[in-house]
Amino acid sequence: MNYLISAAAGLIAGAVLVHSIESMRKSRKRRQAKKEPRGKIEFSKFILLAVLITYFIGFVVAIKIVFIDVSQLGVFLTYVGAPTGSSIGFYAWKAKAENVVKIAKENPKVTGGTPVDVNNITP
């Protein structure tokens, strides 16, 4: 059983790696054809990506632990859910705050020139 899970995980990881390398190669060719500068990744997106990668690795390890001892399921769900949910929630709040400012700047007639208080944004 462990061999099948390892083989499936390896195939999936390999397919994802090949796809990502191929898409990076294609985008590099397109950029070179258009002579566009390479875009930098935003810090918040980098942090979100790092958290998600870390927790997907933890997800794989925790699944093996849950197969060994089912009573660890609650710990596993907390391990995966808490940080991932927090980082995704923070990123969504940050994106919403940025979009509110952009909308206010681009549509002064609709917003009536009302200043935007980013610290006081409610859902």
Q: Rounded to whole angstroms, how far apart are CA atoms 64 and 68? A: 6
User: Tens digits of per-residue pLDDT, 37-57?
Assistant: 667 777 777 877 887 788 788
Assess whether 49 and 102 both reside in one domain: yes
Assess whether 21 and 2 both reside in one domain: yes
- Total domains in the chain come to 2
Residues 6+ apart with CB under 8 A from 91: 44, 45, 48
**What is the domain extent for residue 29?**
1-39
pLDDT of residue 105: 75
Percent of residues, the chain, with pLDDT higher than 70: 82
CB 52 within 8 A of CB 92: no
Residue 76: pLDDT band (50, 70, 90) is confident
Residue 121: pLDDT band (50, 70, 90) is low
Assess whether 8 and 31 both reside in one domain: yes
Assess whether 51 and 26 both reside in one domain: no
CB 80 within 8 A of CB 101: no
Assess whether 67 and 122 both reside in one domain: yes
Assess whether 69 and 96 both reside in one domain: yes
Q: What is the mean pLDDT of residues 13-33?
A: 77
Assess whether 104 and 119 both reside in one domain: yes
pLDDT of residue 41: 76
Task: From residue 102, give the alpha-carbon distance in Å to each of 33, 42, 93, 95.
Answer: 31, 17, 14, 10
Task: From residue 49, give the alpha-carbon distance in Å to each of 18, 43, 119.
Answer: 19, 10, 25
Assess whether 30 and 52 both reside in one domain: no
User: pTM of the prediction?
Assistant: 0.47
pLDDT of residue 112: 66
Assess whether 66 and 122 both reside in one domain: yes
User: Tens digits of per-residue pLDDT, 81-118?
Assistant: 787 788 788 888 888 888 877 877 777 676 665 666 65
Assess whether 31 and 47 both reside in one domain: no
Assess whether 30 and 61 both reside in one domain: no
